[in-house]
Amino acid sequence: MAWYAMHVHSGREDTVCEGVREWLEQKGYNEPYKMFVVKRELLERRQGEYYTILKIMFPGYVLVESEDIRSFAELSRNCKGVCRFLENEGEVQQVANAEMAQIVCLTNEQGLMGVSDVYRDGDSIMVLSGVLNNCVGRIVKFDTHNRRARVEFVFDGKVYEVGLGIRVVETGNEISILRISE
């Protein structure tokens, strides 16, 4: 199965995703498919306390994995909120395998990129657990004060630098070590 990007109204990604699922079920579509909105879990500080929030990674996009994208696209185009599929010369364009491999390895089944636990020792950052374990080589910068790791992603041929959540822990077992000068 291949991955495709469905462009939807920004801010309505979850609503459109659920609406497409219900629409396809009503129409009797029974081909296998996966569909999700890529989200990242972040820690934000308010009044001295850290809270977990969810932010959409690619606003205006829902990712779809399907064997029969033509019939999937034809049926889902009639759903409220669906703008179009990314196309090239009138054909639904597949998201590049390398781009999707990067996203799929960092997300769970629901498309969520969770918070990673890190340990800081001077100029060394040790990733203890979480999605950043799979991310060596794409991390641009760690900002332990704001609890973010800046990570480069390529999507639809464009390079995005996105902040992923980190939780700084006091001690722990080292899984992988990243040397980054801050």
- DSSP-derived secondary structure for 68-91: -HHHHHHHHTTSTTEEEE-EETTE
What is the rounded average pLDDT of the residues 53-70? 92
Return the number of other C-beta atoms located less than 10 Å from residue 36's C-beta. 19
Instruction: List the one residue out of 86, 84, 104, 82 whose CA is nearest residue 95.
Output: 86
Q: Name the CATH superfamily, with its identifier, for domain 1-114.
A: NusG, N-terminal domain (3.30.70.940)
CATH 3.30.70.940 in the chain, residue ranges: 1-114
* Mean pLDDT score of the chain: 85
Q: What percent of the chain has pLDDT over 70?
A: 91
pLDDT at 181: 37
Total count of residues recorded for the chain: 182
Separation of CA 168 from chain center: 22
Phi, psi of 60, rounded to the nearest 5 degrees? 90, 5
pTM of whole model > 0.85?
no
Q: What is the pLDDT of residues 66-78, one digit of tens each?
A: 998 999 999 898 8
Pairwise pLDDT comparison (108 vs 12), residue with the higher score? 12
Q: What is the pLDDT of residues 96-145, one digit of tens each?
A: 888 888 888 888 888 899 998 888 877 778 888 888 886 655 788 888 88
Return the number of other C-beta atoms located less than 10 Å from residue 9's C-beta. 14
- Find out whether 86 and 92 touch, Cβ atoms under 8 Å: yes
CA distance 85 to 62: 9
Residue 50: pLDDT band (50, 70, 90) is: confident
What is the rounded average pLDDT of the residues 38-53? 91
Instruction: State the amino acid at position 163 in one-letter form.
Output: G
